[in-house]
Amino acid sequence: MLNKLIATSLALGLAAGLSLHTFAEEELPAGTVISADNYDDVKDRMFEGKTVGSMIPERLEWMIRERNLTMKIRHSEPIEMDEKYMAATQANKGKVKFDPVTRQATGWTAGMFFDPQDIDINDPHAGDKIIWNLRGPTYGATMDLRHISFVFIDGEKGVERIQRWWSRRYYMEGRLDGGPVSEGDGTIMQKTILVATSPQDIKGLGTFSIRYNDPSASKPDDTWAYLKSVRRARRLTGSAWMDPIGGTVQLYDDWDIWDAVPTKYKSNTLLERRWVFAVAHSPLLSVDLTHKNTIKEFPSVAMDTPPHFYPASHIEWEPREVFVVEGVPPEGHPYSKKIVYMEVDWPRPYLGEAYDQNGKFWKFFIFQNRPDIGDDGYKAIMPVVGHVIDYKANFSTTWSSNMKANPAGVEEDDVTLKQLIKIAR
């Protein structure tokens, strides 16, 4: 009798264990919505050969468990970066030189500075090299942030206000749009206009900045602010690059989660190479002007669901393999450190973390990205929605844009101080 009981118990136990094992091994279906309610149930489930929990960084898990973040998951899909970009990367081999002493990289023409496949995770300068790769933007030679709006969102009360802006960035080097790869005399890296168009009290308030092609990053940006209220452009300080954009919680330095060249920072350290869930296939339309001044204007943001500033429920997260780089900004910067999660195959930031000067977690960045075909046929990958969340204030400024790569007809002359003044009318 005893033996029978033992045998039965063992059989049941084995069966239960087998059942559990089978359940854990079973692929979590695409379309599953990960939330606080089911996180413990799904974290050990498999998805594309990896456990779900292994693809959710600590801060993201905290947001799911404690701050009502939900993630609808989908299968990953290969993304093809433009052939010219990848070919230029290969062409850089042997030409781009990295000086470990100064951390400066020289000899670059276009594409990535360093082929990511060649980056040794044990290289003490791997972080610098990955951030250098950001100099070769994946969104094309001209960044047209069409219809961009910053929505100020309180985590409890919802939308507080909407600022509409106009923005364009023009790279003077590394251009792969069929024209010259480098324009000008080679001294300028990129030029950016950012100007408010609404509401009325900030309409015509804008900045024009020039970032110089200086591997040491010692030459400060030249930045002008145009104030329509006095109808005059005023020179700003060279440290404006680390200031917030207007009243938003996003710094200019958070432009694409990470905007500074490596030598602006004290150090850039590659922490790991891992998989994370990220938004790499955001819908084509991020700003629906047919629903202007309603929350439907921003369909990719869950403005009707507390805390109102996360990706909308239909936005799908997919596994992406990323480099995780930690940077230590210079003195005077609001952050003590910033962490970026960036695609391994090309420099596309997906997620980021920022810490205050006391080392406390402050902000999280979720950038929704999607592939885009530029007007010139260029295959780009670009951010289209940026959730910049200040967790100390439970507040976000989330921008959305119908961004366009390499818009036709835009020339260097279209991104100048004069153009800023013309637009800020």
Distance in angstroms (rounded) separating the CA atoms of residues 127 and 120: 10
Q: Is 234 in the site for another protein (CB under 8 A)?
A: yes
CB of 402 to another protein, least distance (A): 9
Distance in angstroms (rounded) separating the CA atoms of residues 357 and 362: 10
Q: Which two tokens stand for residue 164?
A: 């509409």
Q: Is 235 in the site for another protein (CB under 8 A)?
A: yes
Query: How many residues of this chain interact with another protein, rule: CB under 8 A?
Result: 52
CB of 230 to another protein, least distance (A): 5
151 burial class (0-12, 13-18, 19+ CB within 10 angstroms)?
buried
Q: Distance from CA of residue 51 to its chain's centroid?
A: 24
Dihedral, CA atoms, 339, 192, 164, 246, nearest 10 degrees?
Answer: 60
- Interface stretch with another protein, choices 131-139, 245-253, 297-305, 343-351 (CB under 8 A): 245-253
CB nearer another protein, residue 321 or residue 414: 414
Q: Quick one: which of 313, 368, 244, 261 has its CA closest to 71?
A: 313
Q: Is 106 in the site for another protein (CB under 8 A)?
A: no
Q: Is 376 in the site for another protein (CB under 8 A)?
A: no
CB nearer another protein, residue 92 or residue 397: 397
CB of 161 to another protein, least distance (A): 5
Distance in angstroms (rounded) separating the CA atoms of residues 260 and 319: 26
Distance in angstroms (rounded) separating the CA atoms of residues 82 and 87: 9
Which residues have a Cβ under 8 Å from the Cβ of 91 and sit 6 or more positions away?
A: 109, 110, 111
Q: Quick one: which of 193, 204, 198 has its CA closest to 168?
A: 193
Q: Quick one: which of 273, 258, 195, 198 has its CA closest to 227?
A: 195
Q: How many residues does the structure list for the chain? A: 425
Judged by CB under 8 A, the residue of 98, 114, 139, 166 near another protein is 166
CB of 239 to another protein, least distance (A): 6
Judged by CB under 8 A, the residue of 189, 236, 295, 344 near another protein is 236
Which residues have a Cβ under 8 Å from the Cβ of 371 and sit 6 or more positions away?
A: 79, 80, 281, 379, 380, 381, 382
CB nearer another protein, residue 59 or residue 228: 228
Give the H/E segment covering residue 330. Answer: none
CB of 242 to another protein, least distance (A): 9
Q: Is 294 in the site for another protein (CB under 8 A)?
A: no
CB of 419 to another protein, least distance (A): 6
CB of 212 to another protein, least distance (A): 8
DSSP 180: -
Q: Is 363 in the site for another protein (CB under 8 A)?
A: no
Q: Is 375 in the site for another protein (CB under 8 A)?
A: no
Binding mask 119-148 for another protein (x = CB under 8 A): ---------------------------xx-
What's the start-to-end Cα distance of the chain, in Å? 93
Residues of span 174-233 touching another protein by CB under 8 A: 197-201, 203, 219-220, 222, 224, 228-232
Binding footprint of another protein on the chain (CB under 8 A):
146-147, 152, 160-162, 166, 168, 197-201, 203, 219-220, 222, 224, 228-232, 234-240, 243-244, 246-249, 332, 334, 357, 395, 397, 409-410, 412-414, 416, 418-419, 422-423, 425
